[in-house]
Chain A
Amino acid sequence: MNPVLKLLIEGGQLSTAQMAVVAGLSEADVNKHLEQLKKDKIFLGWRPVLDLSREAVAGAAVRAVIEVRITPERGGGFNRLSERLSHFDEVESCYLMSGSYDLLIFITGPSLQKVASFVSEKLSTLEGVLSTSTHFMLRSYKEGGFLIDAPEQASGRLKVAP
């Protein structure tokens, strides 16, 4: 496996300079590997994991999960409509699901009203969308692998041990 991909899978918290040291490569090589992974469409990009509830000004984001039922099309199945939906900037992630609905959509907006109007005006009016069910997120306990508000833990290890 690509050595840089291995490190990304592990959690991707290292800078490219640190990855270089760990993998025994030059930083230029790490960047080359990243470029290759991008070309192969494996590595799509970086995203920070933020807890915006701590930032008073920026804290306005409202997030919701929407269950969407859609009609599959002859020839295209669910893909055409799903792809079309995914293009909206409000849509952060979009997944085809098994079970009682078809798509699970994660969306972010600046206010409750904005999210609501996106659902009622853009989403549910699209041809092929049968129904939507919107759930607003109230509080985050874990974000992208990071615990939110978990008390800081000092390492319990002794400083020297046999």
Chain B
Amino acid sequence: MKKNIARHVVSLPKSGIRDFFEIVSKMKDVISLGIGEPDFDTPWHIREAAIYALEKGKTHYTSNLGTIELRREICKYVEKNYAVSYKPETDVIITVGVSEAIDLALRALINPGDGVLFHEPCYVSYSPSIALAFGEAIPIVTRAQDGFSLNVEDIAKAWKPNCKVLMMNLPCNPTGGTCDLERLQAIAKFAVEKDLIILSDEIYSELVYDGIHTSIASLPGMKERTLFLHGFSKAFAMTGFRIGYACGHPDLIEAMMKIHQYSMLCAPILAQEAALEALLHGEDGMKVMRDQYHRRRDLVVRRFREAGLSCHLPKAAFYAFPNIVATGVSERDFSFGLLEAEKVAVVPGTAFGQSGTGFVRASFATSYEQLIEACDRIERYTQNLASKRRT
């Protein structure tokens, strides 16, 4: 059968996480810091809303764009928290996770060979999604020295005349990188100059611990050329519900809707009902989770530094991204060695692109008890590596 698989699918690289996952999932008693989703269960009132919707017989298709009630609440939420106003009737589409929204946007915008800029290290699906849309994936480097923020100089260096789209993920998975207003303004100016469309994946934007989050869509003149992408997976601990959304220019939403209606039809109605409940009554619960992530971040980063790893302080999201170069081994050897010796799973930084070389991603979306134990083991592991190097 292999010979029948489409060339562009065959040439997609294997996920750097996949083989690691195979090994970890066969091991017992592993403490996993390799999980990119909240450890909290979805708050009960949200789950209850889904059960109630099921009881009421909400088992049908919704509008292709999603229920108007949810789109209305999304517009209120986005206006209140991100200072951008969208029309629920024409500017919003509900998707199956941010994942689908990214795919739709790329397919709606890209002609074969168009360039798509994205910053690395980044979420594992960016480059493959661009390839599946027949675009050219063009990485931009970000660096630990400035907290993996995005600099316009680096964008300009990577830019080529075929570039049409700039994908941004701030705050960033896996680095926790964010961008201050000044940097965002410079990027906005560059986007206007080069006539770039911006896909802004702001899925971690509620989980900010230092500073405030600004959406690039809220900057003057940027709403028209920005597609604002967001969802419920992270802040509301609703990964399994699979609800995301995109807000932007009605022409682009219309184009995305065309693809969505033929490929997906609509997002599941029960999950849309649950998402509505999250927006109506979920803010307090979300803040409780955020505060706990905040304390866990402080704990993990401090302990990593005590263990001799250099680790920038991620301002947001739930990932620490320590540099392991000082241990004298590669990120892959570090991760596999740690798993074998101490049964702690972290993800090699290269799973998130070449500029993740020398780093590992450790998710702190796990309980204090597990984090404390994992940090003890990591410290023991790095000390063992250090004493091996000395002998």
Q: Which A residues are closer than 8 A to B by beta carbons?
A: 6-7, 10, 14, 18, 21-24, 155-162
Contact with A along B113-126 (1 / 0, CB 8 A): 00000000001110
A162 to B17, CA, bound (A): 7
A162 and B25 within 8 A (CB): no
* A residues near B25, Cβ cutoff 8 Å: 158-160
What are 14 A-B pairs with beta-carbon distances under 8 A?
A: A14-B369, A18-B369, A21-B303, A21-B368, A22-B295, A22-B372, A23-B295, A24-B302, A160-B17, A160-B32, A160-B347, A161-B17, A161-B36, A162-B125
Given that A14-B369, A18-B368 are known contacts, is A161 also in contact with B299, CB under 8 Å in the complex?
no
Interface centre among A10, A18, A156, A161 (most CB of B within 10 A): A161
A14 to B292, CA, bound (A): 14
Interface centre among A7, A158, A160 (most CB of B within 10 A): A160
**Nearest-Cβ distance from residue A15 to partner chain B, whole angstroms:** 9
The verdict on B37 contacting chain A, using a C-beta distance below 8 Å, is yes
The verdict on B30 contacting chain A, using a C-beta distance below 8 Å, is yes
**Nearest-Cβ distance from residue A30 to partner chain B, whole angstroms:** 13
The verdict on B43 contacting chain A, using a C-beta distance below 8 Å, is no
Question: In B363-379, which residues have CB < 8 Å from any A CB?
Answer: 368-369, 372, 375
Pick the contact of B20: A21, A157, A160 (CB < 8 A).
A160
B24 and A159 within 8 A (CB): yes
B15 and A159 within 8 A (CB): no
Question: In B24-41, which residues have CB < 8 Å from any A CB?
Answer: 24-25, 30, 32, 34-37, 39
A161 to B372, CA, bound (A): 21
The verdict on B298 contacting chain A, using a C-beta distance below 8 Å, is yes
B292 and A10 within 8 A (CB): yes
A22 and B368 within 8 A (CB): yes
The verdict on B324 contacting chain A, using a C-beta distance below 8 Å, is no
